[in-house]
Each structure stands twice: as C-alpha cells, then as structure tokens.
Amino acid sequence: MNKEKTERIREVATRAMLNSIEFASQNFAVESQRDLIMQNVCESAVSPAHEIKTVALQCLSKIISLYYQFMERYMSQALFSITFEAMKSDDDAVILQGIEFWSTLAEVEQELIECFNIDENIGITCMNYCQKALPYIVPCLINRMCVDEENDEDTWSPHKAAGVCLMLLARVCADEMSSHLLPFIASNYNSTDHMRRDATMLALGALLDSVSKDELGSVTINAHAMLLQMCKDTTPRVRDSAFWALGKIYDRNKEFSLDLEKTLSTITLIFDSINDEPRVATNVCWALNYVIHSMFDPLFEITNRRPDSLLISRYYDHLFNATYHTIKRYYLIDVDRIPTNLRYARQLLSF
C-alpha cells in the first residue's frame, strides 16, 4: 500500500475518532483501552501529514474537555509537549488547534474551580495544569500576538486565538498572571513595533479582566494613564485594542468613575475619538458604554431608582449625535456590523 493511501486511511480513521469521542466514556474508564486510544491519537498528532495532525489535535481538545479526570499521566508524558510544539508550528491550522487545546483546558479548569466553590464534593479535582504551564504557554501566546497578519479583521487567526486564550488563562490563573504579564506590558507599550504595542494592550486587557480586588485599584490607576496615551496611537489596530482595554477598567472597577478628573479625561478622549475609523469607533462606543454603567450602577444600587443626572448628562446631545453618526458610517461601509453598533447605541442612549 503506497504512502498516500496509508495517510488517507489514517486521516479517515482519525476523523472517525473525532466523531466518536463523546460516545467513548466506557472505553476511557478502562485504563488499557484509554491507553490505546491516547497512544493512537498522540501518534497522529505528531504526524507529518497536515490533515492527520490537525484532526488529531482537535481530538485532544475534545478529549480534555470530556475526560479531564483521566488525563494526569498523559499531560505529563505527551499532551503538554505535543500541544506546545503545535503552537510553535509554521502552519496556521496546526497553531490554531494547539491554542484551542489550552483555551479548552482553561475553560474546563475554570468551570471545575467554580463548581468546587459551590460544592467541594464535585468528584473531579482541578489539577491546575494551566497554572503549571503558564511560564511556557504565556510567552508563546504573546509571541503569536506580536506577529503581523494580513488576514481581514473577521478571519479567525493565530493572533486572535492567542489573545482569547490569554484571556481565558488569566481568568483561571488570576493570582499568577500579573508576574507573567506586567514585565511584558512595561517593556513593550512604547515599542516601535505596532504589533508589540497592540499585544501590550491585549495583555493589559487580560490583566484587568482577571486581577484580584486587592490589586485592582493600583493596576487601574497605572493602566489608565497608559491607555489615555495608547488610545491616541498612530496605528488604528493599537487604538482599537486600547479602547477595549480602557472599557475593561470601568467594567471591573466601577469605583474608578468616582475619580471625576480621570473620568472626565476619559469621556473627553472618547468624544474626541468617536469619529475614528469604524473598527476603532466600535470599541470607543464599547468603552463609553462601560464608563456610563460604572457611573449609573452604583447609584442605582444605593437608591434603587434612576439617578436624575450623571457626570456625562451634560454631553447627551453630543452623545446622541456621535452614536448616530457611528451607526450611519457603518451602514455605508459594513452592513454586517450594524447589529453590533445598534446594540451599543441602544445601551448608550438608554441612559
């Protein structure tokens, strides 16, 4: 049998495995059968054949999500090295599947931690694989986030996948993430490479999304000054990410809006930027939405009624006109984005 035919048979077999994993619970419960399955999938995941490798990596993501409780031995012996090497590949499809494995694992461990906080007798122990792998995985993800890509902004790519994976890891490893992200942020936000500046903003957003309440105050104060600068960056991509991170400040730390001087500088920046190009304007509106919520929600919780006015009330006419024109610009350029912008506008104008 020639090599091409053999590879085709292995590809079909690997796809069959992918489609049957969820029905294999009894097989995974038996060590000898589990060993055989894992041996075959792991061998396929290091195959030189592109299709076999990518499908096998998909199998590994599905296996870790369904049979996490059986994976301790395989993680140390094979899964870490296989998926880590996949993330360093030159093949985008392989990279995406390597990143997907760690995104899936982060979601599984986050769910286990949340379930344990509700009921300590859930029956499955979180093994903290993500936490143990952070020193290796985070630098690899950051490197991917620093690679310029020519894909259009709606195409799923290693750059985007790495950013999402970093967010998921930050949530499940919140206490450990600062030490991995802060040095990168501090040394790269002023980089001459716009992709490194963009990666810095994504890393900062991930940090803001996950940092503990004890650290939140100091992190947001330092991040705010940096973000006011980065929201004026010469590169649209960086401005886009910076406004997203700016929104994270007010999403996580609603008390930050009580600093009227800083919040007024945020509002002024937002209104100066709302006519930016459409992809940036979307996150400008997104940030504004969280700024307003951070003012509104604490007052509503205290009084249980709608506040008569907010700091931003004086800007209502400008707010209305700006959001209307943002929607109108998208209608002329990208009709597919209208639902997203209408949602932001509806939320903004409801205040």
Query: Between residues 285 and 320, which one has the greater pLDDT?
Result: 285
- Kindly tell me if the per-residue pLDDT of 331 is higher than 60: no
Residue 241 has pLDDT above 90, yes or no: yes
> What is the pLDDT at residue 334?
54
In the predicted structure, residue 277 carries a pLDDT above the cut 70: yes
pLDDT score recorded for residue 215: 86
Q: In which band, very low, low, confident or very high, does the pLDDT at 30 lie, cut at 50, 70 and 90?
A: very high
- Residue 182 DSSP symbol: H
pLDDT score recorded for residue 279: 82
pLDDT at 265: 94
Q: How confident is the model at residue 348 (pLDDT cuts 50, 70, 90)?
A: low
Q: Is the pLDDT of residue 328 over 80?
A: no
Please say if the pLDDT value at position 342 is more than 60: no
* Position 1 pLDDT exceeds 60: no
Tell me which DSSP letter residue 76 carries.
Answer: I
Determine how many CB atoms are found less than 10 A away from the CB of residue 92: 15
- What pLDDT digit, counting tens, does each position of 117-175 carry? 887 777 889 999 999 999 999 999 999 999 977 665 678 899 999 999 999 999 999 88
Compute the average pLDDT of residues 311-334: 65
Task: Tell me if 287 sits within 8 A of 243, measured CB to CB.
Answer: yes
pLDDT at 309 over 60: no
Region 33-44: mean pLDDT is: 97
- Across the range 276-286, mean pLDDT stands at 86
Q: How high is the pLDDT of residue 183? A: 95
Q: Which two tokens stand for residue 158?
A: 């290693």
Contact between residue 274 and residue 284 where contact means Cβ atoms under 8 Å apart: yes
Q: Which residues contact 161 (CB under 8 A, 6 or more apart)?
A: 95, 96, 99, 100, 103, 144
Return the higher-pLDDT residue of 346 and 70: 70
Of 200, 206, 346, 221, the closest CA to residue 285 belongs to 346
**What percent of the chain shows pLDDT beyond 90?**
62
pLDDT (average), residues 210-236: 92
pLDDT of 301 reads 59
The tens digit of pLDDT for each residue in 171-204 reads: 999 889 999 999 999 999 999 999 999 999 999 9
Report d(CA 318, CA 187) in Å as an integer: 37
pLDDT band for position 298 (50/70/90)? low
Distance, CA of 185 to CA of 182 (rounded, Å): 5
Which has more confidence, 1 or 146? Answer: 146
Q: How far is CA 179 from CA 27, 162, 279, in A?
A: 41, 18, 31
Confidence at residue 148, expressed as pLDDT on a 0 to 100 scale: 78
Lowest mean pLDDT among 65-69, 270-274, 311-315: 311-315
Structure confidence at residue 45 (pLDDT): 97
pLDDT value for 230: 97
Taking the C-alpha atoms of residue 237 and residue 137, their distance in angstroms, rounded to an integer, is 24
Averaged confidence pLDDT in the chain: 87
What's the distance, CA 256 to chain centroid?
Answer: 23
Tens digits of residue pLDDT in 39-95: 999 999 999 999 999 999 999 999 999 999 999 999 999 999 999 999 999 999 999
Helix (H) or strand (E) holding 299: helix 278-303
**What is the mean predicted confidence (pLDDT) over 317-339?**
62
